[in-house]
Chains A and B, each alone.
Chain A
Amino acid sequence: MESFIHIIILSMLVTTAAAIVRVKDLFAVTMLAGIYGLLSASFFVLMDAHDVAFTEAAVGAGISTLLILTTLSMTGRFEKAAENPKSNYKPALALTLVTVTGALLIYGTQDMPAFGAADAPVQTHVVPRYLNDSATEIDIPNVVASVLASYRGYDTFGEVVVIFTAGIGVLALIMSTVSTAPVALRASMEEHVILRIVSKMLIPLILIFGLYVQFHGEYGPGGGFQAGVIFASAFFLYAMLFGLTAARKVVNSNWVQALAALGVLLYGSVGVLAMINGGNFLDYNFLAQDDVHGQHMGILFVELGVGITVASVMIIIFFTFSTHQQRDGEPD
């Protein structure tokens, strides 16, 4: 029965992807991409990958739609390449490339072990160690969190640095084209009485939910990445309703930029602290008297660092994009 549901969802995914290719209106593409995100999250849930599904729920279906839309408002809504004869629009080339790559990938799957096969490398390499020993070595219910934050602490550190770099990249690229003169923003939605009141009720709940996800990553799906996004989305909602000027009063841009760096610093410091105590970088066993306690503390602070950086970078990106968009959108 379950595989029947899998097939339905997968075929809807393919249909959506085909629709995305066909549609020329970039706004419709964004909407379909949002649906694609929703579908993949459902599929991840069915495949029992609930941490991935959680991330997809927060990032793929929610925030990325918003960010793509703000980008669209800077670039325009329709694909122009096809109409312009002078452009380098060569669909045949891209199509050939994609077809060849796809064919190679399908050919490659011939050598892959069957899904869920017991002798597949993924079941015999490091995973048994994670699954069997996580309970005694780290002692938290969610193995995904222990893999992410402890066994693979290096990788996650890299990811946080990537996110931090992305934030800096956006600032460097867009800030340079925007003058720092204050922009008068019409908070057009503020007089929208229903939206105003309902959002006022929701914002504190979104914030506390974000923090709940942050601190319960060890017990269920969630953790710093998802929590950061959820927490930041409350600020997005606030900025969209009450205007950027008001939002900037609530969160000082300089603080947010400092916090983005602080998150990475916190993560790194945990690693360095382990070194000072005589262990390897990010070896949490050296953080406390006994190993399990050290692991708990290490994971808690590392996840906090991730959450702070992700939330700050998201806020930086959204605010910078919106400032830019506002100046462009200002009637001449």
Chain B
Amino acid sequence: MSMVTTYLSWALLVLGGFLCVSGSVGLLRFPDFFTRMHAASVTDTLATGMILVGLMLQAPTWIVFGKLVMILVFVLLTSPTAGHALAKAALHSGLKPLLPGKGGKIDADPRPSAGGV
């Protein structure tokens, strides 16, 4: 394996790990279910993709590579579907999303730096 793929793989793993943590921080910080959902989808898509591609670059055999590809395809197919089903169910059961008034913004985090950087 060349140095380039190794470095690329490391970069993807670290970046993916950072996105994972970001997604979960968003899951904690955001004010209501619907906004949290957006934070969760950060980790489901790009973070999963980056980490799995990072692993693919270091796959020792073609079988491992193939399995990682299949896992990625499954995740990319199922996670938006599950997310959509969840959002639809929540909305239909009467859970109201938090929405700002005309032109206003939600000041969701009155204490700066709480749970943040």
Contacts and interface: CB of A to CB of B under 8 A. Distances in A.
Interface stretch (B10-18, B19-27, B77-85, B101-109): B77-85
Contacts of B85: 192, 194-195
Contacts of A194: 81, 84-85
A32 B84 CA distance: 22
Which interface residue of B78, B81, B84, B88 has the most chain A CB atoms within 10 A?
A: B81
Nearest to A201: B77
A202 B85 CA distance: 16
A84 B84 CA distance: 40
A92 interface: no
Contacts of B88: 192
Interface in A189-215: 192, 194-195, 198, 201-202
Contacts of B77: 198, 201-202
Interface residues on A, range: under 10
A195 B82 CA distance: 8
Nearest to B81: A198
A184 B93 CA distance: 23
Contacts of A202: 74, 77-78
A167 B77 CA distance: 34
A202 B88 CA distance: 21
A205 to B, nearest CB: 8
B44 to A, nearest CB: 15
A258 to B, nearest CB: 33
Nearest to B85: A195
A194 B81 CA distance: 7
Contacts of B81: 194-195, 198
B79 to A, nearest CB: 11
Interface in B53-105: 74, 77-78, 81, 84-85, 88
A142 to B, nearest CB: 16
A202 B84 CA distance: 17
A202 B81 CA distance: 12
Contacts of B78: 198, 202
A191 to B, nearest CB: 12
A194 to B, nearest CB: 6
A10 to B, nearest CB: 20
Interface in A48-72: none
A201 B74 CA distance: 10
Nearest to B73: A205
Interface in A235-271: none
Nearest to B77: A198
B23 to A, nearest CB: 16
Contacts of A201: 77
A278 to B, nearest CB: 41
B88 to A, nearest CB: 8
Interface of A: 192, 194-195, 198, 201-202
Closest 8 pairs (CB-CB, A-B): A198-B81, A195-B85, A194-B81, A194-B84, A198-B77, A195-B81, A198-B78, A201-B77
Given A194-B84, A195-B85, A202-B77, 11 more contacts: A192-B85, A192-B88, A194-B81, A194-B85, A195-B81, A198-B77, A198-B78, A198-B81, A201-B77, A202-B74, A202-B78
Interface of B: 74, 77-78, 81, 84-85, 88
11 contacts: A192-B85, A194-B81, A194-B85, A195-B81, A195-B85, A198-B78, A198-B81, A201-B77, A202-B74, A202-B77, A202-B78
